[in-house]
Amino acid sequence: MKLLREQPLFFFLFPVLFYLLGYTEYGHYIRLSQIGMPILVFSILVVIIYLISKRVFIYHRKAALISIFLFGIGYCFFGDIKAALNQSPLPFLSKYPVMLLLLLGTPVVTYLWLRVRNKITDSLVEYVNYLTILLCVMQLVFIYQRKDTFVSSVKPISFSATAVTTKPDIYLVVFDAYPGQISLKDYFQFDNSPTIQHLRDNGYFVPDTFQSNYNLTIGSMNSEFNMQYVNSKALYPWNHFNLYLKSFRAIRDAHLILFLQQQHYRIVNNSIFELGNTPQQFEFPILKKGLDAIHLKMLHQQLWRHFSWIVNKGKWKNDFLFRRGYLRGHLLNQDILKATLAPKQDKSPQFMYSHVVMPHDPYFTDSTGKLLDFDHITAYRDTFRTFFIDYLKYTNQRLRNLADSLVSMHPDAIIILQSDHGWRQYPEAKRHLMYNNFLAIHLPDSAYQQLQPLHSNVNLFRILLNHYFDQRLPLLPDSSFYVDEEKNIFEPISIPFQR
């Protein structure tokens, strides 16, 4: 066809192809409507580049467009190419200087070669047009074939249909990476008993020993909300996006959330996840979602991921980027704590989930709440334990105030303060300590005897639903698993303090 031989359709189809490829890979975890605006923005950018090229490359425009197209492929799939080269027999090719040289050099060499070969250029334009159209059609076919092929990683749970008349409000506040008493005494020689005693004096049940089932937030919350251990086979491979995207959907459609919605609970979501039909209110930079999985492949995202520290410290520090990137997490934590104490909007029963990323690193403040700058923290990596304990002391202040306020405001509610896992920077010999985490519960009827069998996160809501909602869910054995996304490891781990 004359049109395919003379017009660079591939150039304008590239944004569509890029997002269709991403949607084919992550379509079960991204709504098709979500890629519409990115395609439009990308297409506008492509049209601008095309118009500029028409003025700059008057005599060799096709050669220039093919070269720019090659650059676009390298730019947009930089992360995938880097990962592939790193696993190749020549891993040095994945180094940034080498890859950037290839990214810039390959289009230049291609342009210089094609500008004196017009016949080859015309044939190449036709070939790339057909190839691009074919790939787009193939992706659409794959998307259609996969639309009803989603297999849940969660096993069904049978709930009894008992009518429940009393439906207490439930407030769940997760303090990310808050360690338990055993690990704090063993590794940090820190006595956290004043905070524990403060909670107990105010009516909270705080077990002496408690363990998480996973060393990752995504595993812990998936398991806790679905009241079962995650299906490791269904989540394989256990790399960052596969593990996270499947777990995001499992948390969104979790058994606990669907059960509470059936009981006509209003879901108040101050967390970092979607819950049912309630979107998350807070977006933390460290947590990547569906579209991020596509965009993270791009060169600028890879550079920001690996070199953003440059604009957070020293003479290159940029205050705007510092606040938007590094300091944003601290500001979000403050907003979440504030939102947790917001008054109820109506009289319907309420389930509120707030997720505070503290005392998880980065350790933004000292023990009094005074902000630390990035320079100070990174300059003293050998004293990171001191920074953590200082940040934990500040977290304890906020936790105690929150605990007191919640009991005062909602005395008839179930109030749960917990962590998803403990601190994670232990040496190999102390790895088990990362599973020693924190739990404090305030029950409206003080029926704390029901919590005696509770030793890990996975059984928390099984026990609460059995007691308050007349369910008959059997308790699961307490186990813990170690997950390493970089090494693709998912394995059970023995916990010496396990009861």
Q: Each residue of 206-231: pLDDT tens digit?
A: 999 999 999 999 999 999 999 999 98
Q: Which of 185, 188, 235 is nearest to 214 (CA)?
A: 235
Give the pLDDT band (50/70/90) at residue 169.
Answer: very high
Residue 385 main-chain phi, psi, to 5 deg: -65, -40
Summarize the confidence of residues 452-475 as an average pLDDT: 95
Summarize the confidence of residues 273-284 as an average pLDDT: 80
For position 63, what pLDDT does the model report? Answer: 85
Which of 23 and 487 is assigned the larger pLDDT? 23
Buried b (16+ CB within 10 A) or exposed e, 99-112: beeebeeebeebbe
For position 153, what pLDDT does the model report? Answer: 76
Q: For residue 381, is pLDDT > 60?
A: no
- Which residues, in sequence order, are bridge partners of residue 172? 353, 416
For position 28, what pLDDT does the model report? Answer: 64
For all residues of the chain together, what is the average pLDDT?
Answer: 87
Which of 62 and 374 is assigned the larger pLDDT? 62
Record the tokens describing residue 366, joined without a space.
């000292």
Task: Write down the pTM of the prediction.
Answer: 0.79
Which of 6 and 147 is assigned the larger pLDDT? 6
Enumerate residues 6+ apart whose C-beta is below 8 A from 419.
174, 175, 176, 177, 178, 179, 180, 212, 437, 438, 439
d(CA 376, CA 312): 11
Measured CA to CA in angstroms, residue 358 lies from 57, 127, 179, 308, 395 at distances of 54, 54, 11, 21, 7
Q: Which of 454, 499, 448, 498 is nearest to 476 (CA)?
A: 454
Going by their DSSP bridges, the two strands 266-270 and 350-356 should be labelled as parallel
Segment 71-97, tens digit of pLDDT: 999 999 998 899 889 888 888 999 999
Measured CA to CA in angstroms, residue 291 lies from 13, 15, 273, 341 at distances of 19, 14, 14, 31
Summarize the confidence of residues 322-348 as an average pLDDT: 86
Q: What is the DSSP string of 261-319?
A: HHTTPEEEEESSS-BTTB--S---TTS--HHHHHHTTSHHHHHHHHHGGGGGSGGG--H
Give the pLDDT band (50/70/90) at residue 165.
Answer: confident
Name the amino acid, one letter, at 363: Y
**Which H/E stretch holds residue 402?**
helix 384-409
Q: For residue 285, is pLDDT > 60?
A: no
Record the tokens describing residue 290, joined without a space.
């569906």
Which of 479 and 6 is assigned the larger pLDDT? 479
Segment 195-205, tens digit of pLDDT: 999 999 999 99
Q: For residue 497, is pLDDT > 70?
A: no
Sign of CA dihedral 125, 126, 128, 132: positive
Q: For residue 171, is pLDDT > 90?
A: yes
Place of tokens 């092929």: 149
Helical residues (DSSP H) of 202-263, grouped into ranges: 217-226, 232-235, 240-252, 255-262
Q: For residue 137, is pLDDT > 70?
A: yes
Give the percent of the chain with pLDDT over 70: 89
Q: Which of 438, 238, 462 is nearest to 356 (CA)?
A: 438
Give the pLDDT band (50/70/90) at residue 463.
Answer: very high
Q: For residue 356, is pLDDT > 70?
A: yes
Summarize the confidence of residues 317-321 as an average pLDDT: 67
DSSP type of residue 169? -
Give the pLDDT band (50/70/90) at residue 318.
Answer: low
- Which residues, in sequence order, are bridge partners of residue 355? 174
For position 483, what pLDDT does the model report? Answer: 92
Place of tokens 């005693």: 197
Give the pLDDT band (50/70/90) at residue 136.
Answer: very high
Q: For residue 148, is pLDDT > 60?
A: no
Record the tokens describing residue 59, joined without a space.
């005599």
Coil, strand or helix at 438: coil
